[in-house]
C-alpha cells in the first residue's frame, strides 16, 4: 500500500478500497490530494483496460442521495414502450389485466427490491396501469369502473389481485433490514454495523445515515406497524416478501369503531364489549376484557396453560408453536379463526 494513500473515513474499518462485480468497479479513498492522485493513477490504468465507469449498475441508477424522478425515467420508458406495443381498444378487460400483472409489475418489482421508490414514481406507474386497463391506451380518462385499491384485493374478495406497489416496496425494503439485523458475513452489512449499528440497527436515528440507509432503517417502522418485532425479524430463517406484503395489506383493514369515527360515520369510538376504551384493532384482540376472557376460555379448552397476550404476541406465539398440519395445530388455527370472526 502506498504510504501517501489514506482510506475513506467510512471505509477504514473494513479497509475497503474498491467494490467490483464482473467488469464494474467502484473506488474509494479519503478526499486529500495525495490519496486522490494515487487513486487516479490506478483508475487511469483500469480505465485504459476496461473503459470509463457507467452511471448505471445492472440497469439501476447509482446514487447515495434520494432517487429522483429523472433517474427513474428508464423504468417509465420501458413501461411506456410495452404498453404502446399492446395498445388496442379491442382487448377485453381480462386481456389487459394479464400484461399488467406479468410484465409491468415484473419491471417495477426489480427496482422496488433495490431502493425505496419515490411516491411520485409509484403514482405514475399506477396511473399508467390504470389507464391501460380501462382505455386500452395511455390517454387520460376518468373512466374507472372500480377504485384501484379494490382491484388490488384478492379475487375471492372481488378484486383482480393486482400488486399494491407502495406496500410491496415497503415489504421489499424490509428484506434489506432483515439482512442488516444480524451481523452476517456480508460486506455492506458489516459496514452499516461499523458506522451506524454499534448498539443495534433497529432504533438508529434516521438522520444520522445517508438517504439510502435511512430508507432501510425506516422499514423497521413499517414492519412494526404490521405486527412484527425486532426479535421476530432477526430470528427469521427466511424473509418472504410475499408474506410480509400480505401482513401489511391486512393490517388496519378491519373496520373498527375508532376508524369509523375518524371517517365521521359514527359518533363514539367506545368499545361496545367492555365500555371502557376506544375500539381499535389492538384493543379488540385481545386487550378488551371481554375478548380476553373469551380467548382465555378457548385456550383452556385446548389445554394450553398460558394467559392471553396482545395481538402481535399471539400471532408470533402461534407461528412458533403451531407449525405444520398436525391435529393440535389445526384445532388451534380453527379455534383462533373462529374466535376472531365471532368477536
Which residue has 467494490 as its cell numbers? 19
Structure confidence at residue 279 (pLDDT): 86
Query: CB burial class (10 A; 0-12, 13-18, 19+) of residue 319?
Result: exposed
Distance of CA 78 to the CA centre of its chain: 23
Query: What does each C-alpha distance from 131 to 79, 80, 95, 182 come to in angstroms?
Result: 13, 12, 14, 43
Q: Which three cell numbers stand for residue 246?
A: 400480505
What are the pLDDT digits (tens) for 263-314? 777 888 888 888 888 888 788 888 889 999 999 999 999 999 988 888 878 8
Is the CB of residue 159 less than 8 Å from the CB of residue 151?
A: yes
Q: What letter would DSSP give residue 278? A: B
Structure confidence at residue 203 (pLDDT): 67
Enumerate the β-bridge partners of residue 313: none
326 phi, psi to nearest 5 deg: -65, 165
Please give the Cα distance from 286 to 46 (Å, whole number): 63
Please give the Cα distance from 17 to 140 (Å, whole number): 50
What are the pLDDT digits (tens) for 188-232? 777 777 777 666 666 666 566 677 777 888 888 888 878 777 778
> Quick check: bond before 157 cis, omega within 30?
no
Enumerate the β-bridge partners of residue 24: 21
Structure confidence at residue 52 (pLDDT): 47
Is the CB of residue 322 less than 8 Å from the CB of residue 316?
A: no
Enumerate the β-bridge partners of residue 278: 270
Domain ranges within the chain, ordered by starting residue? 1-53, 73-163, 168-250, 270-342
Structure confidence at residue 176 (pLDDT): 85
Is the CB of residue 243 less than 8 Å from the CB of residue 236?
A: no
Digit-by-digit pLDDT tens for the chain (343 residues) are: 677 788 888 888 888 887 776 666 677 888 888 888 887 887 777 666 554 444 555 556 555 567 777 777 777 777 767 666 665 666 777 788 887 877 667 766 777 777 777 788 888 888 888 888 887 776 666 667 788 888 888 777 778 888 888 888 888 888 888 888 776 667 777 777 777 766 666 666 656 667 777 788 888 888 887 877 777 887 888 888 888 888 888 766 677 887 777 777 788 888 888 888 888 878 888 888 999 999 999 999 999 998 888 887 888 788 788 888 888 989 998 998 888 888 7
Structure confidence at residue 165 (pLDDT): 84
Element (H, E) at 188: helix 187-195
- Residue 35: how many CB atoms within 10 A of its CB? 18
Structure confidence at residue 299 (pLDDT): 92
**CA dihedral defined by 180, 183, 189, 194, rounded to 10 degrees?**
110
Spatial CA neighbour of 233 closest among 168, 171, 167? 171
- Residue 260: how many CB atoms within 10 A of its CB? 15
Amino acid at each position: 500500500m502506498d504510504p501517501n494513500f489514506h482510506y475513506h473515513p467510512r471505509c477504514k474499518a473494513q479497509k475497503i478500497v474498491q467494490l467490483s462485480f464482473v467488469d464494474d468497479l467502484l473506488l474509494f479513498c479519503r478526499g486529500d490530494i495525495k490519496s486522490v492522485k494515487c487513486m487516479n493513477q490506478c483508475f487511469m490504468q483500469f480505465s485504459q483496460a476496461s473503459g470509463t465507469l457507467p452511471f448505471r449498475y445492472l440497469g439501476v441508477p447509482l446514487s447515495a442521495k434520494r432517487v429522483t424522478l429523472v433517474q427513474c425515467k428508464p423504468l417509465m420508458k420501458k413501461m411506456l414502450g410495452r404498453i404502446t406495443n399492446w395498445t388496442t381498444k379491442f382487448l377485453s378487460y381480462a386481456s389487459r389485466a394479464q400484461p399488467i400483472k406479468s410484465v409491468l409489475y415484473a419491471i417495477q418489482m426489480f427496482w422496488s427490491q433495490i431502493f425505496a421508490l419515490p411516491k411520485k414514481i409509484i403514482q405514475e406507474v399506477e396511473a399508467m396501469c390504470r389507464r391501460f386497463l380501462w382505455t386500452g391506451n395511455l390517454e387520460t380518462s376518468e373512466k374507472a369502473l372500480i377504485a384501484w385499491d379494490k382491484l388490488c384485493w384478492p379475487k375471492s374478495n372481488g378484486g383482480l389481485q393486482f400488486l399494491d406497489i407502495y406496500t410491496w416496496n415497503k415489504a421489499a425494503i424490509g428484506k434489506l433490514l432483515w439482512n442488516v439485523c444480524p451481523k452476517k458475513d456480508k460486506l455492506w452489512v458489516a459496514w452499516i454495523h461499523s458506522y451506524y449499528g454499534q448498539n443495534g440497527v433497529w432504533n438508529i436515528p434516521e438522520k444520522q445515515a445517508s438517504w439510502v440507509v435511512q430508507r432501510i432503517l425506516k422499514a423497521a417502522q413499517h414492519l412494526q406497524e404490521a405486527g412484527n418485532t425486532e426479535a421476530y425479524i432477526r430470528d427469521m430463517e427466511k424473509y418472504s416478501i410475499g408474506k410480509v406484503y400480505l401482513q401489511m395489506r391486512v393490517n388496519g383493514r378491519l373496520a373498527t369503531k375508532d376508524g369509523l369515527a375518524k371517517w365521521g360515520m359514527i359518533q363514539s369510538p367506545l368499545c361496545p364489549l367492555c365500555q371502557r376504551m376506544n375500539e381499535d384493532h389492538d384493543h379488540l384482540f385481545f386487550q378488551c376484557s371481554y375478548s380476553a376472557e373469551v380467548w382465555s376460555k378457548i385456550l383452556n379448552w385446548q389445554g394450553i396453560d398460558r394467559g392471553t397476550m396482545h395481538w402481535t404476541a399471539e400471532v408470533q406465539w402461534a407461528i412458533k408453536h403451531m407449525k405444520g398440519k398436525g391435529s393440535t395445530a389445526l384445532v388451534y388455527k380453527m379455534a383462533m379463526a373462529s374466535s376472531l370472526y365471532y368477536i
